[in-house]
Amino acid sequence: MKDVRVLDPEKIGWEPIKQYPKGAWSKTLYVDEKTGATAMIVKFDKGFREPPHTHPSNLHMIFLKGKLVDAKGNEIKAGMYVFVPAGVEHGPFDAPEDCVFFAYFDGPP
């Protein structure tokens, strides 16, 4: 059965992102049980460094608060959209302040 889902992210607790020792959090909003597509809100604490990595699926991100800085000094700030194709390495990214973004993977993250 298909139906409209309305969630209040404020009522969902932050869960640590397990592959990182500390400073990275997520709130899962949606997971498609057939495809693994996942929608979530991600938060990186000030001072967090995300190492270079890849994903098996395409990743779409919309930045809501704060910013990330890549190794070349490029800033990804609130209001910006980023698309990362499946299998493409990205990072490292540094969070000079708390950073929050919406992430959508079109398959398993």
- Please give the full DSSP string across 36-94, using - where no structure is assigned: --EEEEEEE-TT-EEPSB--SS-EEEEEEESEEEETT--EEETT-EEEE-TT--B--EE
- Quick one: 49 exposed, middle or buried, by C-beta within 10 A (0-12, 13-18, 19+)? middle
101 in helix, strand or coil? strand
Domain boundaries, the chain: 17-105
Residue 13 pLDDT class (50, 70, 90 cuts): very high
pLDDT at 2: 79
**pTM for this predicted structure:** 0.93
pLDDT band at 1 (very low <50, low <70, confident <90, very high): low
Any idea which architecture 17-105 has in CATH? Answer: Sandwich (2.60)
Specify the residue for token string 């190794």: 71
User: pLDDT tens digit string along 22-67?
Assistant: 999 999 999 999 999 999 999 999 999 999 999 999 999 999 999 9
